Structure 1
Amino acid sequence: MNILITSAGRRVSLVRAFQKELKAIFPQGQVMTTDFNIELAAACHISDKAFQLPLVDDSNYLNCLIDVCLNNNIKLIIPTIDTELHLLAKHSKSLLKKGIIPIISSQKFIDICRNKRNMNTFFRDNNIPVAKEYSKYDYTLPLFIKPQNGSRSVDTFIIHNHEDLTEYHFKNPDLMFLEYLDHADYEEFTCDLYYDKHHNLKCVVPRKRIEVRDGEVNKGLTDKNELVNYIKTHLSQIDGAIGCLTSQFFKHKENGTIYGIEINARFGGGYPLTYLSGANYVKWILEEYLLNQDITFYNDWESNLLMLRYDDEILVHDYKK
């Protein structure tokens, strides 16, 4: 009963969490990883076994991934980056026929998450307000500009003055001109959501984003606030949602107004804080998909748990370049 975490990169904490929980259930089980360059991926050095795969857009990627799974008794695949999600969802049925279970939401839901305009429509359909999108010919400053398809805060801009706008902003059809939600007025939360195999919500853990580095939370605080019940009310069931979803919301500091920003259909980089607070999504995945157990709604996680990240080292001895 081995599992595979793909594109593991720096996700050392996630690999260690899966190792701990898997070995508690299946002592002989192994947590394996893949990456484009396993020699320079820290998580690949602490996993039980690592495999180098081509980039996701390589035509051989899927066949190589399947070979790794079949040759190593891998039962579960845990994807970690956005570019993998569509491919794995598209081929999920063929993977299941081979006895490999990708912990992946439906292709339809993933396509919604990957397109910010579709995501805004999804939020509105579920009665969740979103930041207004302006026409590029009729807008109000300040603006927040972001691509409709993107991640890790790449190609995002805060525009306070007209002279900060360039031809690139106007000519790039992928860029959205959005109402700016000022951090002086709003608190930003990343919420880790767990959906069972029947697409029902089983846990909500809001994490206040205190400081972000390279698009990933560097300092965060669990906060059992009104977002828990708000998300239970509006998103108790999402067609096609499976496993850990990482969602982003803004909450007004004074009047409590909540805006939906985005959802990523995978483990986020800040999930280790949720795990350490007691919301054990890792264990629930193993219980659901390896033991066929049902998951009940869980809200007994630790609130006001502060995470302060720092750089650590993975040392590789006798490394040959």
Structure 2
Amino acid sequence: MTTNKNVLILSAGRRVELVQDFQAEAAKFSDGIKVLATDLNPRMSPACHVADGAFSVPPISAENYIDSIFDLALEQNIGLIIPTIDTELQKLADARRRFEEAGIHIIVSDSELVTICRDKRFTASLFNHCDIDTPEIYERENLTFPCFAKPYDGSRSIGAKYIHTAEDLSYDMLKDPKIIFCQYIDITNEFTEFTVDLYYDRSGRLKCAVPRERLEVRTGEVSKGATRRNGLYTLLIDKMSHLEGARGCITAQFFCKGSTVYGIEINPRFGGGFPLTYAAGGNYPGWLMREYLYGEKIPFFDEWENNLIMLRYDAKVLVRDK
């Protein structure tokens, strides 16, 4: 149990629903837990306006980024820090023990696992270690068409491209060391795309898994989705029941067709579609507070609502000149 009780959500940006989910759970405790947020420019962040308090921090690339988060956490009695974007994970994972010694829990996986998840070549090996297939990665001197090109450290489909024939290849693409070429999986006509929110306790034990079918995606983030209790769920409960170094919410992507499952990527953080998992009963915010702020053990949970559909839309936050 820690004496620091407030929650800090980093790089909050547009994650309004995530902030609200944490606020809803914080209100169930009697300690007056506040949910605070950071951003490069809090005034222009909708989530920062919804939070109980918001603070400006340096860019993640700045040398003093970790020091600024650490000082802020001490000043604001932060007990729980929630990362939200890929580019901050490695720095936070490397600094996690420093925060732990001050009674501050960063919900980030171990450095080794973050390194694996940030590189899709290593991620494929991790899936294979769990006995889950992955699309073949081709040598660029021996490509098979059609194929799919993407940066090995990319996210949100940025830089990803379908390559139909050799004529679609560019010189820059072939010479870019960050681009990998993979077996093409047809998710338009054959395969179905799923994102799964997995909750791992501090021992790396799986406590909940909620598959979300991606019915519609906009700029790499799900805009329409539905929870599905299916063969993928059964597979993951078996194959990924323990993940060394995992901690908190892990978001994994899969392509499925019948009994055929391909693991695509793992993001060791909350995904943009997590509010659907929370609405279905996957109470990851509450479990994190109970586990890290109050020292409770989290039991395995599988009573989440099946076939719950989420239809997202844009909403506004008005900021008046004071």
Which TM-score band (shorter chain)?
over 0.9
**Structure 1 CA distance for aligned equivalents of residues 299 and 233 of structure 2:** 15
2:209 alignment partner in structure 1: 204
Match for residue 223 of structure 2 among 218, 222, 237? 218
**Structure 2 CA distance for aligned equivalents of residues 267 and 65 of structure 1:** 19
Q: Give, as a single letter, the amino acid of the residue that structure 2 aligns with 1:260.
A: G
Q: Are positions 1:290 and 2:293 aligned together? A: yes
1:247 alignment partner in structure 2: 252
Report Cα offsets for 1:68-121 as digits up to 9, x if no partner.
111111111001011111111101111111121111110000000000000001
Match for residue 113 of structure 1 among 110, 114, 117? 117
Q: Are positions 1:26 and 2:25 aligned together? A: no
In the TM superposition, what is the alpha-carbon distance from 1:248 to its structure 2 partner?
A: 0.3
TM-align CA RMSD: 0.9
Match for residue 136 of structure 2 among 124, 132, 135? 132
1:274 alignment partner in structure 2: 277
Match for residue 98 of structure 1 among 80, 99, 102? 102
**Structure 1 CA distance for aligned equivalents of residues 247 and 153 of structure 2:** 21
What SS is found at the alignment partner of 1:122?
helix
In the TM superposition, what is the alpha-carbon distance from 1:27 to its structure 2 partner?
A: 4.9
**Structure 2 CA distance for aligned equivalents of residues 224 and 256 of structure 1:** 14
Report Cα offsets for 1:174-218 as digits up to 9, x if no partner.
111100000111000000000011110011100001111111111
Q: What does residue range 1-20 of structure 1 map to in structure 2 within 5 Å?
A: 1-20=5-24
What SS is found at the alignment partner of 2:7?
strand
Structure 2: any 5+ residue segments left out of the alignment? Answer: none
Q: Give, as a single letter, the amino acid of the residue that structure 2 aligns with 1:98.
A: A
In the TM superposition, what is the alpha-carbon distance from 1:233 to its structure 2 partner?
A: 1.1
| More displaced 10-residue stretch of structure 1: 158-167 or 257-266 | 158-167
What SS is found at the alignment partner of 1:205?
strand
Q: Are positions 1:67 and 2:74 aligned together? A: no
In the TM superposition, what is the alpha-carbon distance from 1:161 to its structure 2 partner?
A: 2.3
**Structure 1 CA distance for aligned equivalents of residues 92 and 302 of structure 2:** 30
Over 4 Å off, 4+ runs: none
In the TM superposition, what is the alpha-carbon distance from 1:162 to its structure 2 partner?
A: 2.1
1:228 alignment partner in structure 2: 233
1:307 alignment partner in structure 2: 310
What SS is found at the alignment partner of 2:27?
helix
Equivalent residues, number: 317
Match for residue 157 of structure 2 among 153, 158, 162? 153
Q: TM-score, normalised by structure 1?
A: 0.97
Q: Give, as a single letter, the amino acid of the residue that structure 2 aligns with 1:57.
A: S
Report Cα offsets for 1:110-142 as digits up to 9, x if no partner.
000000000001111111100011111212111
Q: Give, as a single letter, the amino acid of the residue that structure 2 aligns with 1:270.
A: G
**Structure 1 CA distance for aligned equivalents of residues 277 and 68 of structure 2:** 32
